[in-house]
Amino acid sequence: MLQVPFIRDNKAVVIERLSKRNIDAAKLIDDVIVLDEKRRSTQADLDNTLAESNSISKEIGNLFKSGKVEEANALKAKTGELKEASKTLTEQLNTTAESLQELLFQIPNVPHESVPDGNSEEDNEEVFKAGEVPSLHEGAQPHWELAKKYDIIDFELGNKITGAGFPVYKGKGARLQRALIAYFLDKNTAAGYTEYQLPHLVNEASGIGTGQLPDKEGQMYHVTEDNLYLIPTAEVPGTNIFRNTVLNEADLPIGITGYTPCFRREAGSYGAHVRGLNRLHQFDKVEIIRVEHPTKSYEALDSMVNHVKGILEELKLPYRILRLCAGDTSFASALTYDFEVFSTAQDRWLEVSSVSNFETFQANRLKLRFKNANGKNELAHTLNGSSLALPRILAGILENYQTETGIDIPEVLRSYTGFDSI
RNA sequence: GGAGAAAUGGCAGAGUGGUCGAAUGCGGCAGUCUUGAAAACUGUUGAGGGUCACACCUCCGGGGGUUCGAAUCCCUCUUUCUCCGCCA
């Protein structure tokens, strides 16, 4: 959520930057400013009414004390009127504030100046590419075939137990999953991130805090009996650690990492791109989250990108980094880099990580602040990224490391798996 | 799941209808003293809205109510603690 004073002071810039997202925000921004003015003037009226009412109440108290009961009772009539007035004003204030909030919820984050124009993934800018695309043997297969051939992932069993998109990992497949999680967590903690184990269900306030609610409600599994939501990413519980928090400047930067399963309804997805591990309702992911001083957040973003790069290089997977264009950058993000691994057998790029700087957009909703050098509370910047998402990494490994006789395990993982090949 | 108790500022902890945004202690910050530090002493120290700045308003777990007036009374939700039950 953008800050109203920021919108007020930078109206033209906000509109211009939002136009990169292909949004004509002029009307929306005007409405916000008008509503905010109305909110403030209603608040002022209400405050004055309450002030008068407060002072009369005090007077009544004093009159009662000195035994002037009749005078006191006379004043009560006056406060009755004020009470009515303040009630109406409160209602007005609430509706105005709600409408304002609704508008603000509709406005995405302002893209960073380096974000390229564009509407779709074709306009994303490749900023880095590395790794060798292996030349596979004749008859190389996509991972869903390999999974069946080596009996390491059972999609049909998942269908039986739960439904589509809930695969069952077996034997070496399960062990490889566990190895990847442990390896990622080790890399992240070695880079200074503190490991967390987080709840997999969150309440409504947390969903609102990171922006899944109220808009993207349909994307989360909802446990209605207890009004809890299954997390779509560790970002939700991880970032909500800091909801309604005032940190000390010296606490920054904060870096945390955690492994969680992620649950996504993926309503509306279909087709070839959802085959195998490409798109699932439940998958595993190791996330990194940072809370940064506003002057340091882009430095932090770079270091996160370098960190993920390091992991992909150790895994020796061919990958590229994209700077997402404005149209492809998620609602809350100011700047996002996507990492994609090349799947040789599928002959396509698979997104394995998305690293974003949200600047104050999330912090504003979360009320995540720190006490700055002047002793004032200031919104912090939040960032997060996958480090990394398991299924497509697994797909990438299976497909790129396949040989005619099996699947080699990347060397860095062998101490975790306890075997060299499948 | 049942019975009972509780939730107050960074922490501890007073406050059961009016002058309480809130005693006191600890902690934090600033100063005095000191070569420096500690101790001692003095001052200061929650958040949000609003204003050029004041004023002013709101917040004593969340929401609602009673009252001219609520931290204080009532309802409700959440959380914590104690006891019982169940349980990995």
Question: Whole-number Å distance, CA A335 to C1' B43?
Answer: 47
- Per-residue tens of pLDDT for chain A, all 422 residues: 888 988 988 899 999 999 999 889 899 999 999 999 999 999 999 999 998 988 888 888 888 877 777 888 888 888 888 888 888 888 888 888 888 988 888 899 999 999 999 888 889 999 999 988 888 888 889 999 999 999 999 999 999 999 889 999 999 999 999 999 999 999 999 999 999 999 999 988 888 888 887 777 788 998 887 888 999 999 999 999 888 888 888 888 999 999 999 999 876 666 556 688 888 999 999 999 999 999 999 999 999 999 999 999 999 999 999 999 999 999 999 999 999 999 888 889 999 999 999 999 999 888 888 887 777 788 899 999 999 999 999 999 999 999 999 999 999 999 999 999 98
Question: Whole-number Å distance, CA A49 to C1' B83?
Answer: 50
Closest nucleotide to the alpha carbon of A41, via C1' = B50
The residue whose CA lies nearest the C1' of nucleotide B49 is: A43
Question: Whole-number Å distance, CA A369 to C1' B29?
Answer: 20
Question: Whole-number Å distance, CA A373 to C1' B43?
Answer: 21
Question: Whole-number Å distance, CA A374 to C1' B9?
Answer: 21
**Which chain B positions come under 7 Å from a protein C-beta?**
18-19, 47-51, 55-58, 68-69
Residue with tokens 């309702």: A281
Question: Whole-number Å distance, CA A354 to C1' B62?
Answer: 36
Question: Whole-number Å distance, CA A85 to C1' B87?
Answer: 56
Question: Whole-number Å distance, CA A252 to C1' B8?
Answer: 30
The residue whose CA lies nearest the C1' of nucleotide B62 is: A205
Residue A375: the pLDDT is 72
The residue whose CA lies nearest the C1' of nucleotide B17 is: A61
Q: In which region does residue A217 sit, left (phi positive, over 0), alpha (psi from -120 to 50) or beta (all else)?
A: alpha
What's the whole-model pTM score? 0.90
The residue whose CA lies nearest the C1' of nucleotide B28 is: A248
Closest nucleotide to the alpha carbon of A79, via C1' = B68
The C-alpha angle with vertex A330 and arms to A325 and A332, in degrees rounded to 5, equals: 125
Question: Whole-number Å distance, CA A258 to C1' B26?
Answer: 36
The residue whose CA lies nearest the C1' of nucleotide B46 is: A246
Closest nucleotide to the alpha carbon of A203, via C1' = B78
Question: Whole-number Å distance, CA A306 to C1' B8?
Answer: 47
Q: Which residues touch strand B (CB under 7 A)?
A: A 40, 43-44, 46-48, 50-51, 53-58, 60-61, 64-65, 76, 79-80, 83, 246, 369, 371, 377
Closest nucleotide to the alpha carbon of A375, via C1' = B29
Q: How far apart are CA A111 and CA A109, in angstroms?
A: 6
Closest nucleotide to the alpha carbon of A369, via C1' = B47
ipTM of the complex as predicted: 0.83
Helix A26-65 vs helix A11-19: crossing angle, to nearest 10: 140
Q: Which residues of A328-353 are buried (b: 16+ CB within 10 A; e: fewer)?
A: bbeebbbbbbbbbbbbbbbeebbebb
